[in-house]
Structure 1
Amino acid sequence: MFVGDLDKVVSLLLSLSGRLARVENALGSGEEQAPPPDEKRTLTEKRALLLRQHEDARELKDNLDRRERLVSGVMATQLDARGLDDYRHFVKMKSALVIEQRMLEDKVKLGEEQLKCLLDSLPPEQRPPL
């Protein structure tokens, strides 16, 4: 149960961080590309909501870290030193792999968007059949 929750909380933090970064980028664009006042107000409200959600997710992560220490203590009584090391390595790698998976998914999405833009920029007669 702990490992499943770890996966969900790390994914939630990554998602919120990405969304927050996109909103802040939209708000922080140069004066010549600044959003209209209505859109800026909407983005500012969205940013405030995302900041609250991100803080809530950080609290979930802190609680999960406390649970991990408890689970690790129980595992220490049930496993030998090698098994405990394997468990701790697994928990560390789980988070790292979730982060890496998200980064790869983002790269694939970006590549697909770039490919679509490139195909759309071709004259219709030069576009490959899909």
Structure 2
Amino acid sequence: MFIGDLDKVVNLLLSLSGRLARVENVLSSLGEDVNPEERSSLTEKRKLLAGQHEDARELKENLDRRERVVLDILGNYLSEDQLQEYQHFVKMKSALLIEQRELDDKIKLGQEQLKCLTESC
């Protein structure tokens, strides 16, 4: 259950971080002549995403506390080597999820760039 929650929370944080970054990039690239309603809409979206991101960070902090409890419990049943392997597994799971998201983003960016290049020819 803890590992499944870890997957969900890490993916949620990555998703919200990406969405927030995209909205902030759009906001920063807007010129002075942009429609005020559009700017207001994007500002509200940024505020909403920032709040959701903060909520997700709190979920991650709660999950980190649960991880410590799980480790204490597992410490009663596993050898030191097994416990270290479990800790390594948990760390690698998060790291691999982050790396997978980064690779997915790079693939998506490459596909978008390829599409733009083929359309411009």
- TM-score range relative to shorter protein: over 0.9
Q: Could you tell me which amino acid in structure 1 is paired with residue 66 of structure 2? A: R
Matched residue, 1:112: 111
Taking the aligned partners of 2:49 and 2:70, their CA distance within structure 1 comes to: 30
CA–CA distance in structure 2, aligned partners of residues 29 and 89 of structure 1 = 41
Q: What is the match of residue 61 of structure 2?
A: 62
Q: SS of 2:76's equivalent?
A: helix
Q: 1:75 offset after TM fit, Å?
A: 1.0
CA contact (8 A) 1:27 1:35 kept: no
**Identity percentage over the alignment?**
67
1:69 is displaced (CA, Å) by 0.4
Describe how 1:34-49 pairs up with structure 2 within 5 A: 35-49=34-48
CA gap of 1:46–1:93, structure 2 versus 1, over 3 A, is same
Query: Counterpart in 2 of 1:72?
Result: 71
Given the two structures, how large is their TM-score scaled by the length of structure 2?
A: 0.95
In structure 2, the gaps of 5 or more residues are: none
> Which of these two proteins has the greater Rg computed from alpha carbons?
1
Using CA pairs under 8 Å that are at least 6 residues apart, name the structure with larger relative contact order, 1 or 2. 2
Aligned residue number for residue 26 of structure 2: 26
Name the amino acid aligned to 2:39.
Answer: K
Task: Give the superposed CA RMSD.
Answer: 1.3
Spell out structure 1 runs of 4+ moving beyond 2 A. Answer: none
What residue number does 1:99 align with? Answer: 98
Mapped contact 1:26–1:35 kept (Cα < 8 A): no
Task: Return the offset for 1:35.
Answer: 3.5
Superposition deviation, residue 117 in structure 1: 1.1
